Each structure stands twice: as C-alpha cells, then as structure tokens.
Amino acid sequence: MGPRLNAVASYLAGKRALPAAARQGPGGGGDAAARTRAVWLAFGLAAVFALATGLAESAVIVFVRFYLHRFTHVPLQVVWMAPLAYAALFALPAALCAAAAWRRPDGRALDVLVAILAFVSAFSVLLHATQLFQVARVLLAAGVAARAVTLIPALVRRHPRLVPAAVAALGLVAALLGGSYSAALYLRERQAVAGLPAPPAGAPNVLLLIWDTVRAGSLGIYGYDRPTTPNLQALAKRGVTFAAAISTAPWTLPSHAGMFTGRLSAELSVTWLHPLDDRYPTLPEVLARNGYATAGFVGNTYYLARESGLDRGMAHYESFGFTAGDFVMRTSLGRWLANKPELRTYVGNWQLPGRKTATRIRRDVLRWIDRRPAGHPFFAFVNLYDAHMPYLPPPPYDTMFRTVRVDRRPLVLDFWRLTPAQRTAEHDAYDASIAYLDSELGALLRGLSARGLLDNTIVIVAADHGEEWGEHGVYQHGNSLYMPALRVPLVIAGPKRLGLPAGRVDAPVSLSELPATVTDLLDLDREPFPGRSLARFWDRNAPGRQQARVVSEVGSVNGAPGWYPIHEGDMRSLVEGGYHLIRRGSGRLELFDLRHDIAEHANLAGDSRFAGVVERMHRDLDTRAQIAQAPR
C-alpha cells in the first residue's frame, strides 16, 4: 500500500487531520483518498447492517416456524429478501452520511451512521419480541446503538478490511440460503411432475375456485338486489347451485383445511397460531396419486402460504410474490409500518403491500395451465382475496355501487366506531369487490374455453366463509357462528357425461363434503375422506338424500370486544332439521328457525315449545364433538 493510502488508513484509525503527504495527491488532490474511503465505509457498513439484520430476522422466523411450529406469515425467501429490503432502506442514511463525510471526513458522520443503523436494526429484530412494550424496544435499541458507536467506528478504522470481508461473508450466507431454498422448491416440483402416474383415460380437469370472505347473502344468485354475480349465475345454468352451503369455520385456514381433508376444525391441528399437519390426506394428494398435475394459487398469503400446510400434494404453489410491496413485508419493520393507520392515512394508501389481485392470479393460473405436464389433467386450487378487508376494488368497480361519498379508512378494524355513512361506504366497496371477482370468474372461464378445456373441467366456485355487517352487533368474520359468517356460495358445474344437472339444492350441506364429492365425480377411491358425496342429491343410485348434520366451529380469540360471542370462548354450532343451534363458550345456547328466520332475529332456545329440539340438537352436537376429538 502506497504512502498516501497508508496515511489514509492511519487517519481512519483515529487521527483527526490528514498529514500533508496524504492531502497532496497528483494534481493537488488533497484529502480525496480519505473522502473516498469514508464514502465506501458508509455504504459498506450499511450493507453489513442490512445483511446482519435480515439474517437475524430470518433466524427468528425459522425458529418460530420449525421449532415452535407456529405461524410466521412470512415465506422462507425472507433469507434473501429481507437483507435486500434492509439494504434499500439503509441506502438512504448511508448516502447522507457519505455526502457529509465527503465534505468533512473527520469520522463524525460515520459515528452518526452507526448509531442510526444499530438502532433501526436492533428495533427491527426486537419487534419479533411481541411481549415487549414499545418503550422497552426503543430503550433497548437505543442502548444497542450507544454501545455500537463506542465499538464499531474504532474497529473499522483500525481494520478497514473487516467491512468488505463482512459484506462478502454475510452476502454469501444469504445467497446460499436463498439459493438452496429456491433450488429445493424447483427440484421438488420437477420430482413431483416426473413421478406422476398415468391418469385415468378421459379424466376431467378440476378447478376449485374460492372467493375469500364472500357471503351468500351478498350475491345476486341468492336473491341479493345488486347484480354482483352475473357470471356465476351463467355458470350455474349448467350446474348445481347449493342454496345453503355452510362452512366448517368462519375464518380462512380451518375452512380451507376442511375442504381439503373433509374434516371438522376439532379434528384438525389448525388454530389461529398453528398450521395444518399431515395427519389426514388432502384432496390434492389423492389427485396427484391418480395422475393429476396439481397447483395452488392463493391471494390470502397470511393464512394460505406454504407454511399453512395446504400445499401438500400440490407440485406447484404460488403465494407470495416479489413486488416492492412483498419486499417491504419481508421485514418486521416494514410490517410494523404497514400496520400503522396513521402512516397509511398520511401517505393516502390503504392497500395491503404485495396484495395479489384476481386479475394477476387469473393470468398466473392460465399461464401454468398452458405449461403443465402434457397428457395429465389438472387440479387447480385458486383463492382470490379481493373481497377481504380492506375493500379496494379497482376501477370501474370502485364506483359501481357507491351510494355515499365519505372519507374511508379501510384499515380501521373496529367497525363499530365508524359512522353509519362510513359503514355504508365500506359495504358498497365490499359488494363492488364481489362484482370484480365475478368478472374475473368470467375471464377465467373464457380463458379455459378458448383453450378447449372448459367442456372437460369440473368447476367448483365457493367461499371459505362469509362476512358480517353488524348483524347481532358483529362485524367481519371469525367472531361468531351466525349465518352471515357461515353461509357461502357453492356452485358445481362440469362435463355433461358426469350427470351434473342444472338445478338447485335447498338442503343444508357442509363444505367438508367437497373432497368426497370430487373423488366421487372422478370415480376415484373415496376412502380417505369422511362424509358423503353431494352427488346424492342428483344421482338416483346414491343412498338416501337425507342431509348430514352440518357442524361449524371457531376457537376463542384474545382481544375480541366483550360483547362479541367469541369473547366467551370456543364456539360450536349445528344445523339440522331446519334449525341452527349455537353453543357459546359460556355454555349459553341460541336456537334459530332458518326456515322462517334466516336473519336469525328470534332466539328460540328459551321457548319451552322448542325444549325438545334444543335437547336433541345439543345431544347431537356433543356426540359429533366427541367423535371429532376422539384419539386416533
């Protein structure tokens, strides 16, 4: 190293003024070398902190997911996405520090940069400690920053080569981890495709399309006074419409798990914190063993990503994306900021970062169908999230049903605090979001038709659960077991040779009967799935049409308002013989006659005339619960 660079290194080790030999370069360059070194150090330290913070968060995610077996709501691509996201964030203070250091390379700017980076890094990692108060996080992060300022600047001045070495080492770790995971997913899909057996001759395709958070009562096909579902109604003309399809749970994961396994929530491992385990086979697994190319495309990445366990049996699975919003949400700091209504209000954007639109998912589905393994029918599971809060339909649907013009705050979760006009605006947006989903259904069906696939495809359109709009003082979902949260659309259409009639079934049915129905329609072994095929309603050779007891369940939620039913504890309900019995966690019973009171206004549980009905249904509910919870 030349004399000028030796002088610069000596300066970085702690001197406050450069010797004349260093200040005088060719052509009178002065302290340009020191300035250049300070600039490189600024960006190098930013890269080190970004990589270290991203990898530290990744370690927490891996620990929670694989050791505690709990949801993280973050994909494992975090190992490379989080470092890149933090690098973009830290580039700004690094640039400001570099500019200050260029003007005055005395080390003060470097101290400030280290303090900022250390504080933000420590605070970001501490956000994973959910039991800490915010003030505790701030104080701990400030302590880390103070300690870092006393150690790191002096260390890098004495050993300036540590910075590029640390960048290289940490970058290599992130690249290896991210590359290994991506390679594993690629090889898994290739192996799954290569291992597909020959399918049955002429086997039809299966499209399972789930409209997340869409209740039956808001659909034109069920008598709603707004034209929300013209395409679904057109599909129903060549298939079966179920007027009283009921979800097994009023929230996403257990409902989807029930549709995949045929099981009730009490039989499954899923909770608000835990994913689906591998105790029971899933519909995609059974179809894959019978030669189907399987894929999943989900908009609800919070509860339906790979870590949910629903990807079992699907060779191809798309959940999280790689947009700028996705990178923001791969960091704890980004998620914390994104959930700040005050910040979202200030910037005027209430959309969920990285949210996939139905249009994007529809294109992804058709793209995969075009390149799926030749000679194999497909099973495509599609979850569309656009009718879930925040309700933000795209133009022209955003003004389709607008009846009032008010200042909306879609991220406000406590709906009971909104004004009547604001609630009306939210409801208008919800209906418009459903109309948008319906338009994308039409586009997807046209895409299949253009490819010559629609006539050989079983199309199932349903929802995982509904949405409540103040009925019984409850909003949104997951809070009760009333019909607005449980009654969902269900339409099944398919090739004529399968015997699916164009008609309507009024009897209550459970979404948990879908696996048995699909395997029955495909003439496959139904043994893995409990329940009975819905084909009993149109197949003359099927056993009697008597309905099964339709059971729904929901676990308790911390922090629910005191007047919400779920506040009292776990809930269970039973639909049987035209009645709906709900048992709250406190043991309180509610009975409604759905034949004459679909809105569930009159609680008949205390009416002596219905004592026999209550006793019988309560006994049946307990019997079904004991069966579900019996050890296996």
The string of DSSP codes covering 4-51 is HHHHHHHHHTT-SS--HHHH--TTS-TTHHHHHHHHHHHHHHHHHHHH
Place 343 in a pLDDT band, splitting at 50, 70 and 90: confident
Taking a C-beta distance cutoff of 8 angstroms, is the pair 369, 378 a contact? yes
Ramachandran region of residue 28, left (φ > 0), alpha (ψ -120 to 50) or beta?
Answer: left
Tell me, letter by letter, the H, E, C secondary structure of 256-312: HHHHHHCCCHHHCCCCCCCCCCCCCCCHHHHHHHCCCEEEEEECCHHHHCHHHCCCC
What is the pLDDT, as a whole number, of residue 2? 46
Sheet with 245-246, strands from edge to edge, namely 487-488, 245-246, 509-510
Rounded mean pLDDT of 225-237? 96
Asked if pLDDT for residue 58 goes beyond 70, the answer is yes
Write out pLDDT tens, residues 575-588: 998 999 999 999 99
Residues 6+ apart with CB under 8 A from 45: 94, 110, 113, 114, 117, 152, 156, 163
The one-character DSSP state at 418 is: S
Sheet with 579-583, strands from edge to edge, namely 550-554, 571-576, 579-583, 589-593
Spatial separation of the C-alpha atoms in residues 32 and 10, rounded to whole Å: 15
What is the pLDDT, as a whole number, of residue 178? 95
Give 602's strand partners.
Answer: none
Write out pLDDT tens, residues 133-190: 999 999 999 999 999 999 998 898 888 899 999 999 999 999 999 999 999 999 999 9
Buried b / exposed e along 81-99 (16+ C-beta atoms within 10 A): bbbbbbbebbbebbeebbe
User: pLDDT averaged over the chain?
Assistant: 89
Write out pLDDT tens, residues 116-128: 999 999 999 999 9
Q: Which residue has the tokens 């008597």?
A: 546
What is the pLDDT, as a whole number, of residue 580? 96
Structure tokens at 254: 């257990």
Structure tokens at 343: 């910040």
**Any idea where the domains of the chain sit in the sequence?**
3-181, 195-321+356-629
Q: Is the dihedral of CA 516, 521, 526, 528 positive or negative?
A: negative
Q: How far is CA 346 from CA 120, 349, 560, in A?
A: 22, 8, 27
Q: What is the pTM of this model?
A: 0.90
Spatial separation of the C-alpha atoms in residues 197 and 287, rounded to whole Å: 10
Spatial separation of the C-alpha atoms in residues 35 and 99, rounded to whole Å: 9
What is the pLDDT, as a whole number, of residue 33? 78
Q: Which residue has the higher pLDDT, 345 or 607?
A: 607
Angle, alpha carbons 408-414-418 (nearest 5°): 45
For the chain, the distance separating the N- and C-terminal CA atoms, rounded to the nearest angstrom, is 72
Place 363 in a pLDDT band, splitting at 50, 70 and 90: very high
Asked if pLDDT for residue 515 goes beyond 90, the answer is yes
What is the pLDDT, as a whole number, of residue 242? 97
The one-character DSSP state at 389 is: S
Asked if pLDDT for residue 71 goes beyond 70, the answer is yes
Q: Which residue has the higher pLDDT, 409 or 620?
A: 620
Q: What is the Rg, in whole angstroms, of the alpha carbon atoms belonging to the chain?
A: 29
Single-letter residue type at 293: A
Domain 195-321+356-629 class? alpha beta
